[in-house]
Amino acid sequence: MKKSFGFLLAAAAMVVASLDVKAQAPSADIPADMNALMSKYTCIACHRPNQRLVGPAYADVAKKKYSNEEIVNLIYNPVPSHWPGYPPMMPMKQVPKEDAMKLAVWINSLDGSPAKKSTTTKKTSTSKTTKTTKKTT
Known binding-site positions: 43, 47, 90
The residue from 48, 75, 106, 108 that contacts ligand HEC (CB under 6 A) is 75
- Residue 134 neighbours by CB distance under 10 Å: 6
- Rounded to whole angstroms, the Cα distance separating 17 from 39 reads 16
Using CB under 6 A as the binding rule, whether residue 49 contacts ligand HEC is answered as no
Using CB under 6 A as the binding rule, whether residue 91 contacts ligand HEC is answered as no
Using CB under 6 A as the binding rule, whether residue 88 contacts ligand HEC is answered as yes
User: Could you tell me the smallest distance in angstroms from the CB atom of residue 128 to ligand HEC?
Assistant: 35
The residue from 80, 93, 96, 105 that contacts ligand HEC (CB under 6 A) is 80
* Distance (Å) of CA 1 to CA 5, 8, 12: 6, 11, 16
- Residue 104 neighbours by CB distance under 10 Å: 22
Using CB under 6 A as the binding rule, whether residue 34 contacts ligand HEC is answered as no
Q: Is residue 47 within 8 Å of 39, Cβ to Cβ?
A: no
Residues annotated in a binding site for heme c: 43, 47, 90
| DSSP-based helix, strand, coil % in the chain, nearest 5 | 45, 0, 55
- Rounded to whole angstroms, the Cα distance separating 114 from 111 reads 8
The residue from 30, 59, 62, 95 that contacts ligand HEC (CB under 6 A) is 95
Binding site residues, ligand HEC, CB under 6 A: 41-43, 45-47, 54-56, 61, 64, 71, 74-75, 78-80, 82-83, 86-89, 92, 95, 103, 107
